[in-house]
Amino acid sequence: AQKITQTQPGMFVQEKEAVTLDCTYDTSDPSYGLFWYKQPSSGEMIFLIYQGSYDQQNATEGRYSLNFQKARKSANLVISASQLGDSAMYFCACLNTNAGKSTFGDGTTLTVKP
């Protein structure tokens, strides 16, 4: 069974600063994928970034980057230049390639202060 741990229930960051949201995972699947999603108060799940377990380089998507440390089984999300609109809940998820389904962490609520 897979397990995703997000140790930060809530985080605060000043507007325009960078913030790191932690995620560690535990999986026995040799091939897996790591996703980050943003869920604003509207409830919609918004895909942010993806990292494959065999990818050599860390994934980046605009202001989002994924700090992937395979040996430590961590996949932290870094948001640069935070904006007020980044305030939301953020979920880390690990895809079990064999089973074809994902396991989600408990989420981190990020609040960006003006």
Partner 1 sequence: GAVVSQHPSWVICKSGTSVKIECRSLDFQATTMFWYRQFPKQSLMLMATSNEGSKATYEQGVEKDKFLINHASLTLSTLTVTSAHPEDSSFYICSAKGTGPSVAVTDEQFFGPGTRLTVL
Size of the site for partner 1 (CB under 8 A): 23
Residues of this chain, 9-28, that bind partner 1 according to CB under 8 A: none
In this structure, are residues 2 and 94 in contact, taking their beta carbons and an 8 Å threshold? Answer: yes
Q: Which of 37, 66, 76, 110 binds partner 1 (CB under 8 A)?
A: 37
Nearest partner of 33 among 52, 59, 49, judged by Cα: 52
Token digits for 51? 């990292």
User: Which residues share a beta bridge with 20?
Assistant: 78
Does residue 90 belong to the site contacting partner 1 (CB under 8 A)? Answer: no
Q: Which stretch binds partner 1 (CB under 8 A): 22-30, 70-78, 80-88, 106-114?
A: 106-114
Buried-state track 58-91, b at ≥16 Cβ within 10 A, e below 16: ebeeeebbbebeeeeebbbbbbeebeeebbbbbb
Q: How far is CA 57 from CA 25, 54, 73, 105, in A?
A: 18, 9, 15, 23
Closest approach of partner 1 to the CB of residue 16, in Å = 27
Instruction: From 14-22, 63-71, 74-82, 101-109, give the range in contact with partner 1 by CB under 8 A.
Output: 101-109
Would you say 12 or 47 has its CB closer to partner 1? Answer: 47
What residues line the site for partner 1 (CB under 8 A)? 33, 35, 37, 42-47, 50, 89, 91, 95, 97, 100-107, 109
